[in-house]
Structure 1
Amino acid sequence: HGETEEEVADDKIVYQVQRSYVKQRMGQLDAALEGYEAALRAKPSDAEVAAVASNNLFAVRGRESNMFDTAKKAKALNFDEAVEAKLTVPQRRVFALNRCLLALYMNKVKECTAALSKLEREFEGSELPVLVRAAVLAKDKQMD
């Protein structure tokens, strides 16, 4: 039996995200960025694929980009528990960290603090939440 057009389109998006990741790893950041953006514009029906593309897009763009546009495209970083359960532990850690950083870069200290609390609970013992917490305090001018 053949696949539906929607299934074929979804498979193409998965391939596009994987290919973009390879380009990202090879240092071809413009090509990777273009691929992730195209995948998100195609509106993948698989929330995991959208989450990975959004996360990687944020990673490629970094802090020096238009944060409003990045935040709009990174909305797939906010996914439900069903999607989160399918991600690997390292993926969940990176996604949680990137949610914190995006909020921090956009000066959304309360949102960052809430995301950071979740990161600290879920990944106890990691040094990254401590570093992000220090950045939040510095940004919020609460350092002694």
Structure 2
Amino acid sequence: MDIRLAEARDITQLIEMRWDNTIEFDESKKDASYEEFEKECQTFLENALNSNQWFIWVAEDNKRIVSHIYIELIHKVPRPGRVTHPFAYMTNVYTIPEYRNGGLGSNVLSTINNWIKENKYEFVIVWPSDEATNYYKKNGYVHCTEPMEYYPS
């Protein structure tokens, strides 16, 4: 099993996994146009992989991506008297069903946690589903005060 940062050659698999992840947890989306989604996701992934803002971690088994976690760096406005480091937003955490519950997701998350420490990112924020809360807890994540939200009408 190879845990690494995604590359351009991974885009097709990442698109398929995003589709599968969405359909698995929301079957009402299965009637959406795959072609439209594919085009939008392709553009997003090409831009993300060519930026210093997005980092997509994958676990690969025999050239097949079986798990991934997306990280977006959020840069903060500098403050006098301290060095300002970005924080990380974690999203799109997914492992294909046949690779679940064997520790793979925790191995990917551990790799990311070490990367976070090495790069001195201030913290990681993730909004887990109710089902995923224990996964994060067992990997050192804690509940924080809920952020405030604004939805424009």
User: Please, what TM-score do these two structures have when normalized by structure 2?
Assistant: 0.32
User: Please, what TM-score do these two structures have when normalized by structure 1?
Assistant: 0.34
Instruction: Flag the structure with more relative contact order, 1 or 2, with Cα contacts below 8 A and sequence separation at least 6.
Output: 2
The structure with more strand, counted as a fraction of residues? 2
